Amino acid sequence: MPEAAYPTFTIFIPTYNRAKLLPRAFTSIERQATRNFEVLIIDDGSTDNTFEVVTEWCKHVTFPVHYHHQANQGKPAAHNFALEFINGFFTVILDSDDILADDALALLLEHWNTIPDEEKKSFAGVEGHCALLKDKKISGNNFPADIFDSNYLETRYTLNISGDKKNAIRTDVLKEYPFPHFPGEKSIRDSVVWNRIAAKYKMRYINKTIQYIEYQAEGLSTGIFQRRVNNPQGFRLAHQEMLNNFSNYCSTTELMREMAKYIRFSFHGKIPIKQQLADIQYKALWLFMLPKGWINYRLDLHKKSSLQKENRHA
């Protein structure tokens, strides 16, 4: 556990033009039963009154709040920037439009403390569920047991545990795995980092609600098509690593799906045919899925062109 000079938790909030939503996230932080935490806000180039909202909040809270502003570069860059400033033993990432359950930090710490000390080094942290704010139903499905030790790769790809989840992750582990960065791109699949962590560390999973979520019309969960085709290098990397490093977690059908996406985003990223083939281990599967990947790429170009025309005439 952390030395006395450092907080147990850093609640990290990456935000971009969410001044209207931040107060409810802040309120959920104030309601936490466990008080040994700091708050770190990385403002990814907001043009609204985010700074003023944060400044006003800081006037009446007793825990440390640190605010840093960067030019707009996307959430992965904000995440990497935050790694310089996190002091907590654990990091809890709270999107600015989400809300922590009142007992979130207490639950996470309680279940971390049930892991034997001699085993803790093999665990990255503790993870529970997100629930929808409107009806309190959990996102996706439960873990196989109320306390379940596994990793992201096994839960997602072998056990097919779906839905948004929320964890407290050891900060030293998080700093081992910053997001890859590709010039000109602002997004990448979170699974790139979680897969890499899962190859080395376990998580303790609990069937408890840690966070409440509400999808926003302008959020990252919307506009998925544009986000993917505008950030092809990052999405290509995600599928390449699944095929090259984590294929033992995939069924044959999933391998085919991953290969088609790898090819699709390779074309979007202007990766030559020879390099596509050289960068992947399943050569015969690449050749077999090449027509589908190419067709999906061409369909993307048609859809992108149609959307651009609609926007010009809107």
Is the per-residue pLDDT at 116 higher than 70? yes
Per-residue pLDDT, 3:
45
pLDDT of residue 217: 64
Determine the straight-line distance between the first and last CA of the chain, rounded to whole angstroms. 55
Query: Is residue 234 domain-shared with residue 150, that is, in the same domain?
Result: no
Better-predicted residue by pLDDT, 79 or 3: 79
Give tens-digit pLDDT for 55-88: 999 999 999 999 999 999 999 999 999 999 999 9
No. of helices (H) and no. of strands (E), the chain: 12, 9
Where do the DSSP E strands lie in the chain?
A: 9-15, 37-44, 65-70, 90-93, 99-100, 123-132, 147-150, 165-170, 202-213
By residue range, what is the domain housing residue 114?
9-213
Q: Can you give the pLDDT at residue 221?
A: 45
pLDDT band for position 102 (cuts 50, 70, 90): very high
Instruction: Kindly state whether residues 129 and 236 are assigned to the same domain.
Output: no
The tens digit of pLDDT for each residue in 151-185 reads: 999 999 999 999 999 999 999 999 999 999 999 99
* Domain end point (choices 160, 194, 213): 213
Domain match, 32 and 60 both: yes
Which residues lie closer than 8 Å to 246 by C-beta, 6 or more apart?
A: 153, 157, 195, 199
- At 312 the pLDDT is 75
Instruction: Give the position of tokens 């948004």.
Output: 164
Q: How far apart are CA 203 and CA 151, in angstroms?
A: 5
Distance CA 123, CA 308 (A): 46
- Both structure tokens of 152: 């992201």
Q: What is the dihedral of CA 84, 89, 95, 99, to 10 degrees?
A: -150
Q: Token digits for 17?
A: 């033009």
DSSP single-letter state for residue 247:
G
Residue 219 inside a domain? The answer is no
Q: Is the pLDDT of residue 30 over 90?
A: yes
pTM of the model: 0.92
Residue 109, C-beta contacts closer than 8 angstroms, at least 6 positions apart: 8, 9, 34, 90, 168
Instruction: Give me the number of domains the chain comprises.
Output: 2
242 within a domain of the structure (yes/no): yes
Mean of pLDDT over the chain: 94
pLDDT at 22: 97
| Whole-number Cα distances in Å, 310 to 135, 226, 302 | 35, 14, 12
Domain containing 27 — which CATH number? 3.90.550.10
* Domain final residue pick, 213, 232, 264: 213
Spatial separation of the C-alpha atoms in residues 307 and 110, rounded to whole Å: 49
pLDDT of residue 314: 61
230 and 156 belong to one structural domain: no
Q: pLDDT tens across 192-245, in order?
A: 999 999 999 999 999 999 999 987 665 544 488 889 999 999 999 999 999 999
**36 in a domain, yes or no?**
yes
76 falls within a domain? yes
- Report the C-alpha gap between 42 and 206 in whole angstroms: 28
Residues 68 and 148 in one domain: yes
Model confidence at 2, pLDDT cuts 50, 70, 90, reads very low
- Using the structure block, give the residue that is written with the tokens 């990252």: 220
- The verdict on residue 1 lying in a domain is no
With respect to residue 29, please indicate whether it lies within any of the assigned structural domains. Answer: yes
Model confidence at 1, in pLDDT bands (50, 70, 90)?
very low
pLDDT of residue 223: 80
Asked if the structure places residue 2 within a domain, the reply is no
Please, how many CA atoms are within 13 Å of residue 100, restricted to the half-sphere of its CB?
28
309 pLDDT band, cuts 50/70/90, is confident
Q: How confident is the model at residue 42 (pLDDT cuts 50, 70, 90)?
A: very high
Q: Are 66 and 41 in contact (CB under 8 A)?
A: yes
Does 137 fall in a domain?
yes
In the beta sheet, which residues pair with residue 91?
Answer: 10, 169
